[in-house]
Amino acid sequence: MNQYVTGAVIKQLREKNKMTQLTLAEILGVSDKTVSKWETGNGYPDITLLEPIADAFRISVTELISGEQVLNANVSANMMRSKFYVCPVCGNVIHSMGEAVIQCHGVRLQPAVAEATDENHMIFIERIEDEYYVRIDHEMTKSHYISFIAATSSDGCQILKLYPEGNAEARFKINGVRKIFFYCNRDGLFSIDVVKGIDDKESGYDDSEERRALEETAAHLFG
């Protein structure tokens, strides 16, 4: 394992939960001297004890090993707070409704931070009956491509995985969709509010001042 629970983490969590070494030891079925050895760095808990230790502190094993407790304030499960994690090794895409501790291929993943679309990552959204047709003006080679496109509403997330040499386009049921995300394997995550992207023309990116004026008008009318 690349990481393992440390005595400092156990001590911190024990004190946070107002437990004595003896209390924790009794829960785990070990002696208080054993817990003391862990906390002073003179020993490590057996791997079979990781889950019981995590249960005692009411956290996950991943949180225990990482030393970081996740406090997810998104209790209403609002998809507009969606986070996307992309593994740099295999390209795996993980979606979360809030804070999470996620690892893939031994790598601790950080949530991708979405940037506003730009001239090199142009997105065009057209409403066709009950769907949004989304097209991204971007090359789709084996070394540079759009990995996925996602559409989020307050209660749902639609994700389409894309592949090199395919088309950077997708169709999503409208269903209250408010934001579109897409991920470039080189430049990261981008997003746009649907009202700002809908019915855009390519010239809108050529004339940034005109585009800003159109976006402000759309936001005033529909925001």
pLDDT tens for each residue of 87-136: 888 888 999 887 777 888 877 788 899 999 988 899 999 999 899 999 99
Task: Tell me the CATH number at 27.
Answer: 1.10.260.40
Query: Does residue 2 fall inside a structural domain?
Result: no
pLDDT of residue 173: 94
Residues 27, 86, single domain; the answer is: no
pTM of the model: 0.60
Cα-Cα-Cα-Cα dihedral sign, residues 58, 62, 63, 66: positive
Asked whether residue 213 carries a pLDDT value surpassing 70, the answer given is no
Cα distance between residue 22 and residue 30, in whole Å: 9
Query: Does residue 94 fall inside a structural domain?
Result: yes
Q: Count how many domains the chain has.
A: 3
Q: Give the pLDDT mean for 171-184.
A: 93
End-to-end CA distance of the chain: 49
Query: Does residue 129 fall inside a structural domain?
Result: yes
Residues 122, 188, single domain; the answer is: yes
Domain with 84, as residue range(s), is 79-109
Residues 120, 97, single domain; the answer is: no
Residues 206, 176, single domain; the answer is: yes
What are the helix (H) ranges across 17-85?
21-28, 32-39, 50-57, 61-66
Residues 151, 102, single domain; the answer is: no
Query: Does residue 73 fall inside a structural domain?
Result: no
Query: Does residue 12 fall inside a structural domain?
Result: yes
Task: Tell me the CATH number at 197.
Answer: 2.60.40.730
Residues 160, 190, single domain; the answer is: yes
Asked whether residue 58 carries a pLDDT value surpassing 60, the answer given is yes
Residues 52, 87, single domain; the answer is: no
Residue 142's alpha-carbon distances to 99, 146, 150, in angstroms, are: 31, 10, 21
